[in-house]
Amino acid sequence: MPPAGDAQETRRRLVEAAYREFAAHGVAGARVDRVAATAGVNKALIYFHFGNKEGLFTAVFEMIVNQALAEAPFDATKLPEYAGRIFDVGEANPEALRLVTWHRLERAADQPPPQAVIAANQSKVEAIAKAQAAGQVTARYTAAEILALVLSIANMWTVMSPEMHLAAPTDPAARRALVVDAVATLVRP
């Protein structure tokens, strides 16, 4: 067995290679032999570290969730700014948005969300509920509904149908401003 540092480095290289592979091909289309070749390791190490291709995808998905949590800190009293940060993360990481879409298309219906997502969303809902109780955020919707709406608005440009692009601003700054303004209108007490 390789030293722990080597195992961690191998795992990191596999996750990075899988990130690109899954973003390009989805879970079903991704090939572990391509991931191993890109990472410069034997394919058997994927099974050693992750169990199977699904386990590797879970590791990649958890990595992007943790990255988004770090890059877009949450403050329930500043939801418009939070939506702007989520928009920024998506603009800076289009491959991550593709991975989220692949997850939604290929896994979401039959598998629960990763624990990192559940924990993050639960703490956000609780924080929004406190902000609602303090009169800082509208009580027109439940805290969970507000979180869902904020995330949907922040990511709306990534899930638009082609006909919606006709009316959409093309400038990312204009899109971001629209996201922030829409969330500000939504959450105003």
Residues 4 and 36 in one domain: yes
Question: Do residue 114 and residue 162 come from a single domain?
Answer: yes
Residues 162 and 105 grouped into a single domain = yes
Report residue 22 CA to chain centroid gap: 14
Would residue 145 count as lying in a domain?
yes
CATH number of domain containing 54: 1.10.10.60
The string of pLDDT tens digits covering residues 104-161 is: 888 766 777 778 788 889 999 999 999 999 999 999 999 999 999 999 999 988 776 6
Looking at the fold, whether 3 and 86 belong to one and the same domain comes out as no
pTM value > 0.75: yes
Residue 25 lies in domain:
1-60
CATH number, position 175: 1.10.357.10
Confidence category of residue 163, pLDDT binned at 50, 70, 90:
low
| Same domain membership, residue 79 and residue 52 | no
79, 83, 75, 108: CA torsion to nearest 10: 110
138/109 same-domain check = yes
Question: Closest by alpha carbon to 13, among 40, 50, 33?
Answer: 40
Contact 46, 4 (CB under 8 A): no
Residues 128 and 178 in one domain: yes
Pair 38, 93 in one domain: no
Out of 60, 88, 109, pick the residue that ends a domain.
Answer: 60
Could you give the number of structural domains in the chain?
Answer: 2
pLDDT digits (tens, 9 = 90+) for 41-95: 999 999 999 999 989 998 999 899 889 889 999 999 999 999 999 999 999 998 8
One domain, residues 137 and 185: yes
